[in-house]
Structure 1
Amino acid sequence: MGRYAVLVSGPAGSGKSTFCSALITHAHSIGRSVHLFNLDPAAERFEYQPSIDIKELISLEDVMEEMNLGPNGGLIYCFEYLLDNLDWLDDELGQYNDDYIIIDCPGQIELYTHFPIMTKLTRILQDQYNFKICATYLLESQFMDDKTKYFAGVLSAMSAMINLEVPHLNIMSKMDLVEKGETAEEAKAGRRREMERYFDPDPLLLVGEVNSKTNPKFHSLNQAIVQLIDDFSMVSFMPLDVTDEDSVGTILSHIDNAIQYGEDEEPKEPKNMDTGDFDED
Structure 2
Amino acid sequence: MEPPPVTTYAQLVLGPPGSGKTTYCKGMAEYLRGLGRDVAIINLDPAAPSTPYDATIDVAALVTTPAVAATHGLGPNGALIYAFEYLAANTDWLVAALRPHRGKYWLFDMPGQVELSTHNDAIRGLLSALTRGGGVRLAAVNLVDAAHCADVGKWVAALLVSITVMFQVELPIVNVLSKVDLVEAYGGLENIEQYAEGMDLEYLVGALDDDPRLTKYAALNRALVGLVDDYSHVRFQTLSITSQESVGALVKVVDKANGYMFSEMDAAGLMAARVP
Tell me if both proteins adopt one fold, taking TM over 0.5 as the criterion: yes
Partner of 1:197: 194
Q: Is the 8 A contact 1:133 1:259 kept in 2?
A: yes
Rg comparison, structure with higher value: 1
Which residue in 2 is equivalent to 1:13? 18
1:163 aligns to what? 168
Amino acid in structure 2 at the alignment position of 1:198: Y
Q: Secondary structure at the match of 1:143?
A: helix
CA contact (8 A) 2:196 2:237 kept: yes
Residue of structure 2 equivalent to 1:149:
154
The aligned counterpart of 1:257 is: 256
Partner of 2:89: 84
Give the drift of 1:83: 2.2
Paired residue secondary structure (2:262): coil
Aligned residues between the structures: 261
Asked whether the equivalents of residues 2 and 265 of structure 1 are also in contact (C-alpha less than 8 Å), the reply is no
Describe the shift of the 1:154–1:73 C-alpha distance in structure 2 as closer, same or farther (beyond 3 A): same
Q: Structure 1 residues 142, 3: CA separation in 2 closer, same or farther (over 3 Å shift)?
A: same
CA distance in 1, matches of 2:70, 2:87: 18
Matched, 1:248 2:253: no
The 1:3/1:151 distance shift into structure 2, 3 A limit, reads same
CA distance in 1 between partners of 2:237 and 2:91 (Å): 34
Q: CA deviation at 1:128?
A: 4.1
Aligned equivalent of 2:204 = 206
CA distance 1:12–1:264, change in 2 (3 Å): same
User: Residues 3 and 100 of structure 1 are in contact (CA less than 8 Å); yes or no, is this contact kept in structure 2?
Assistant: yes
Partner of 1:36: 41
Q: Give 1:206 shift.
A: 1.9
- 1:1-281 equivalent positions in 2, closer than 5 A: 2-128=7-133, 130-179=135-184, 191-192=189-190, 194-201=191-198, 202-213=200-211, 214-261=213-260, 263-264=262-263
Say whether the 8 Å CA contact 1:204–1:227 is kept in structure 2. no
The aligned residue for residue 271 of structure 2 is none
Gaps of 5+ in 1: 270-281
Could you tell me which residue of structure 1 aligns to residue 273 of structure 2?
A: none
User: 2:185, 2:245 → 1: CA distance?
Assistant: 18
Q: Which amino acid aligns with 1:73?
A: G
CA, structure 1 residues 178+259, in 2 after alignment: closer, same or farther (shift >3 Å)? same
Distance 1:129 1:52 in 2: 21
Which blocks of at least 5 consecutive residues in structure 2 are unaligned? 1-5, 269-276
- Report the CA distance between 1:234 and its aligned residue: 2.1
Aligned-residue offset at 1:268:
11
Alpha-carbon distance in structure 1 between the residues aligned to 2:96 and 2:132? 16
Q: What is the CA-CA distance between 1:217 and the residue it aligns to?
A: 1.3
State how far apart, in whole Å, the 1-side matches of 2:240 and 2:224 are: 29
In the superposition, relative to structure 1, how do residues 130 and 225 fare at CA in structure 2: closer, same or farther (>3 Å)? Answer: same
Partners of 1:141 and 1:172 within 8 A in 2: yes
Q: Normalized against structure 2, the TM-score is what?
A: 0.89
**Mean Cα deviation higher: 160-169 or 121-130:** 121-130
